[in-house]
Amino acid sequence: MTKLVKDIMHPGIITCKTTATLGQVAVLLDQHNVHALFVADRGGRIMGVITDSDLMTGEWLSKDAESLEIMRKLTAADLMSQPVDTIEADTPIAEAANQFMTKRVSRFLVTENKKNIGIVSLSDFVASVADAIEPKRETVADVMSDAILVCRGKTPVVSAARAMTSAGWRSVVVVDVRGKLLGVVSGHDLLQFVKNGVDKKAIVRDVMHPALTIDINASLREAADKMIQNHNHRLIVIDAQDPEAFPLGAISTFDIVAEMAKPDSVWQAR
């Protein structure tokens, strides 16, 4: 039986008001442990979506105190993306995979009979098809991204945030002088600076979190399972035989969904 979006979505929608400050948005993202909120007006209508990446956009990490103060006064309505990408609840997940790849989004607002009923994210999608990945059918090496955004542990947080924004990456890998993996800094790690202001002396080593790693020869099933279990969208690829060597790349939910979306993949079979 063909699985549909409504079979894998999360019912209900986490929202914030259009008037919510960026600090308030940061608190909600942190409390709910999510990457995005839907922005609703007083009548409850969904007006847009705001993500942790949006909070890093612009000059809120600027050294200019005046610019920083301006950013603190901005609201969710000022930075939200619109229109919101939607998908019908009865859409087959094979078609949903194609839409994820075409639109390059991380989530869809799920609708049914013109009503908003839930959210489907990349994590939901990967979880739903993990069982369809035959063990050892494909390996991490086959689909991973060789390019990663890297910085040293002593890099200022401000510099790392600007690099992430410029490159369009949601995280940066932290290594020591010899290239040994130390950790990862993500948008979530930087939310504290939206709430509390920027500490110009802060370096990435102060805010990074431990990196989740996967061996380059591991199966896609293993990678998907690890992402699901840890609620993580990206794993750092290493050589398990030489774990202290420079990271080999990264594999993300997008990489796995891209594989699923290929016309000849098992997930597209009719």
Same domain, 117 and 189: no
Has residue 266 been placed in a domain? Answer: no
pLDDT value, residue 126? 64
Has residue 71 been placed in a domain? Answer: yes
pLDDT value, residue 259? 65
Radius of gyration of the chain (CA): 19
Question: Which of 89, 109, 131 is at the close of a domain?
Answer: 131
Give this prediction's pTM: 0.60
Has residue 95 been placed in a domain? Answer: yes
Domain carrying residue 154? 140-261
Has residue 270 been placed in a domain? Answer: no
pLDDT value, residue 53? 72
Report the C-alpha gap between 149 and 249 in whole angstroms.
Answer: 9
Domain CATH code at residue 18: 3.10.580.10
pLDDT value, residue 55? 73
Has residue 160 been placed in a domain? Answer: yes
Has residue 120 been placed in a domain? Answer: yes
Does residue 243 have a cis bond before it (omega within 30 degrees)? no
Same domain, 186 and 148: yes
Same domain, 9 and 124: yes
pLDDT value, residue 197? 65
In the chain, the amino acid numbered 185 is V
Has residue 53 been placed in a domain? Answer: yes
pLDDT value, residue 253? 75
Report the C-alpha gap between 213 and 189 in whole angstroms.
Answer: 18
pLDDT value, residue 138? 72
Report the C-alpha gap between 4 and 91 in whole angstroms.
Answer: 5
Residues 175, 150: contact at Cβ < 8 Å? yes
- Counting the structural domains of the chain, the total is 2
The phi and psi torsions of 82 (rounded to 5 degrees) equal: -150, 155
Ranges under pLDDT 50 in the chain = 58-62, 135-136, 266-270
Has residue 269 been placed in a domain? Answer: no
Same domain, 177 and 114: no
